Amino acid sequence: MSINAKSIKPLFDYVLVKPLEEETKTPSGIVLPETAKEKPQIGQIMAVGLGGVDNEGKKTVIMVKVGQKVMYKKWGGNEVKVGNEEWLLVEQKDILAVVE
C-alpha cells in the first residue's frame, strides 16, 4: 500500500518533515557516493499536528507551520515511507530551528 502525503495527519505535537537532499558534490567538484553522504538535518514541513499536552496538563502550542524549512535533530524522529521517499515524523521539541 502506497501512502501519499495528504493521507498523513500527524497527531498531538508531531510534525511530518520531508528531508531535503544535500549537495552531492564537494565545493571542489568531487561527486560524493551515496555511502559517504550524511543524513540530512534540514527539511520542509509537510503537515503538523494540533498540539499536545505537557506534564502539567497544559496544551502545547505548535510553533511551526506547513511549508517552512526547518533544521531538526540528526537522530530524531520516525521514518515514514511516502510514495518512494523516506520522510520523518518528529516531535516538535526535536525541531531545532526555522531556516529562512
The domain locations on the chain are 5-99
Q: Summarize the confidence of residues 12-16 as an average pLDDT.
A: 95
**32 pLDDT tier (thresholds 50, 70, 90):** low
Q: Could you tell me which residues come within 8 angstroms of residue 45 by beta carbon, excluding any fewer than 6 positions away?
A: 15, 16, 17, 64, 65, 66, 67, 68, 69, 70
CA distances from 91 to 13, 23, 45, 76 (A): 6, 26, 12, 8
| pLDDT score recorded for residue 76 | 76
Chosen CATH of 5-99 out of 3.40.50.360, 2.30.33.40, 1.20.272.10, 3.40.50.300: 2.30.33.40
Report pLDDT for 39: 66
pLDDT of residue 18 exceeding 60: yes
Residue pLDDT, tens place only, 45-99? 999 999 988 889 999 899 999 999 999 998 878 999 998 899 999 999 999 999 9
